[in-house]
Amino acid sequence: MASKRIVVVGGSAAGPKAASRAKRMNQDAEVVLIQRAPELSMASCAYPYFIKGEVAKRDQLLSTPTGVVRNPTFFEGAKGVHAYVETEVESIDRAAKKIVAKNLRDGSTQEIEYDSLILCTGANPRMPPLPGSDLKGITPLHAMKDADFLASVRGNPEIKRAVIIGGGLIGIETSEALQHIGLEVTVVELLPQILMFLDWELALVVENHVRANTVDVIEENGVSEYLGENGAVTGVRLKDGREIPCDLVVVSIGVSPNTELARNAGLTIGETGGIQVDAHMKTSDPSIYAAGDCTEKVNRITGKKCLAPFGDVANLEGRVAGENAAIGDTATFPGVVLSGICKVFNLSAGSTGLSERMARAAGYDVLTATNAGPDKPGFMGGKLVISKMVIERETERVLGFQCIGAGDVNRQVAEAATAVNLGAKLSDLVNLDLPYAPPFSLALDHFLTTAHVAENKLRGLFHGVNCNYVLEASKKEPKPFMLDVRSPDEWEEIRIGIGEILIPLGNLRNRLNELPQDKDAEILCWCKVSMRGYEAERILAAHGWTNIKVMEGGVMAWPFEREK
């Protein structure tokens, strides 16, 4: 194969993957990797755990699974890639097919010609230009230097209080890290809920858990000004006028594609603000590819353009771009379904595809199913997970899935992500042959049970409603008959307390006279996770009641205040 030079700009996630793939596919190619930062191939998603001290050594964020630091020497020896750090590409001359690179240590510049160019310039953290933005102690968590700064806070007696602006994935993970090292933490979120990839009822369960771990959460509010003394931040002023004292501010309101180099070179920028690429990751210039956070993606569900600044997506795109730059357009990247997961103290929260809110906003007529239960048998230490599946009613296609809980959330979301990626229908899921053994799952995996709940709803066998429906119904006069079918012991341990009546499921057939005798009266049923609530519905329906509804997820998914 004829020798060619492939230049890759950007050394975080997509860039190293693209460079490595290019060299693997074409050993005769000269592959050059240029990185502005001092580090290469950083595990940026692990920054909160480095701050927390869970990742003990800085080099672990830069190392292979076998512990070898990914530095220029590593790339040269192991990969055959010439890697330059602390070097910035200043311009692209598309006609001459060359770049100008500046050494940030000594200021020298050099021109490097290319046959193929791959732009992996990543994203920039959004930093609102508020009054006081230049105060010391205000930082994003985006680059290695940001993680170094926040890790240095550990054990600093002068840093006692922190405000995190933004309640998204990184903001919430950072709140845990800072709380763990002893700081008093407040999260300020402009939107009505944290973790917008979740629907509100699941997000509220997570928020309750965050608060229970002594992190304050302020929603539907924003920061209007940073307050300071002697050049250092001392607090923030919110949009409603409140002031929150703090010694540290972490800004975590998202990122925007870093497209300056591409724009200046005249490449087409897409409607989302990312570099426009085709399925081969090729830009509007046939000699230039792009991958990672700087590019716009295709949402595989809606077909619309979107952004997806995730490390796994960057690696997948980099792999495609590297192969195509090396041997021609043989590989394609089909798009994303926006899968993600984060750790929230001892809970996890993950999703894939569209939430109910997103699906309805996109014009889909949807059916949803919420399921709560253990991830494996109780005798094997099963832990609670709460899931919500979103189905397109007409086609029965799986549009999305969310899961939260202390159990194996990652397994549930991964199973769902496979279904969403493959365009699976509900009928494809209800009889999935999944691996089973008690140490790992229930005989019917939680994901399968969620699909069964959805199927029962679709067939009219189960009439589920969400927790908000039940709460609002409890405020009406006359209110529906609300039936808790758990055991007396469960009732004494915990109950919602909105006027429900306890009739244990085992006694229900013998106590039907205690229910409304008007067979059209509305009856709301539930139990701990509403499996027995569903059984109650089937019993009552068989005895002529016609207006029975079951609160999906039961008491364990109830996100509001309880009586006890």
In a domain, 159, yes or no: yes
Residues 203 and 166 in one domain: yes
Long-range CB contact pairs, 528-533, < 8 A, 24+: 528/372, 528/486, 528/490, 528/554, 528/555, 528/556, 529/371, 529/372, 529/373, 529/553, 529/554, 529/555, 529/556, 529/557, 530/372, 530/464, 530/554, 531/373, 532/485, 532/486, 532/505, 533/485
In a domain, 50, yes or no: no
Which residues contact residue 400 at a Cβ distance below 8 angstroms, ignoring those fewer than 6 apart?
301, 351, 352, 353, 354, 355, 356, 358, 359, 389, 390, 416, 420
Say what the pTM is: 0.95
Residues 390 and 438 in one domain: yes
Express each pLDDT in 371-427 by its tens digit. Answer: 999 999 999 999 999 999 999 999 999 999 999 999 999 999 999 999 999 999 999
Is 116 in contact with 285 (CB distance < 8 Å)?
no
**Of 274, 301, 327, which residue constitutes the final position of a domain?**
327
Residues 472 and 544 in one domain: yes
In a domain, 424, yes or no: yes
Which residues contact residue 427 at a Cβ distance below 8 angstroms, ignoring those fewer than 6 apart?
396, 455
Residues 427 and 394 in one domain: yes
Q: Which pLDDT belongs to residue 564?
A: 76
Q: Which pLDDT belongs to residue 2?
A: 52
Q: Which residue range(s) make up the domain with 453?
A: 340-458
Residues 347 and 396 in one domain: yes
- For residue 250, give the nearest of 190, 171, 310, 192 by alpha carbon: 171
Residues 163 and 113 in one domain: no
CATH of the domain at 319: 3.50.50.60
In a domain, 473, yes or no: yes
Q: Which pLDDT belongs to residue 471?
A: 97
Residues 350 and 419 in one domain: yes
Residue 530: helix, strand or coil by DSSP? coil
In a domain, 382, yes or no: yes
Residues 68 and 146 in one domain: no
Report d(CA 340, CA 338) in Å as an integer: 6
**Of 253, 277, 293, which residue constitutes the final position of a domain?**
253
Residues 443 and 477 in one domain: no
Residue 46: helix, strand or coil by DSSP? helix
In a domain, 129, yes or no: no
How many domains does the structure of the chain reveal? 4
Residues 204 and 296 in one domain: no
Residues 375 and 478 in one domain: no
Express each pLDDT in 4-50 by its tens digit. Answer: 999 999 999 999 999 999 999 999 999 999 999 999 999 999 999 99
CATH of the domain at 516: 3.40.250.10
Percent of the chain with pLDDT over 90: 99
Residues of the chain with pLDDT under 50: 1
In a domain, 110, yes or no: yes
In a domain, 73, yes or no: yes
With vertex at residue 267, the alpha carbon angle to CA 266 and CA 272, rounded to the nearest 5 degrees, is 120
**Of 303, 327, 351, which residue constitutes the final position of a domain?**
327
Q: Which pLDDT belongs to residue 337?
A: 98
Residues 266 and 118 in one domain: yes
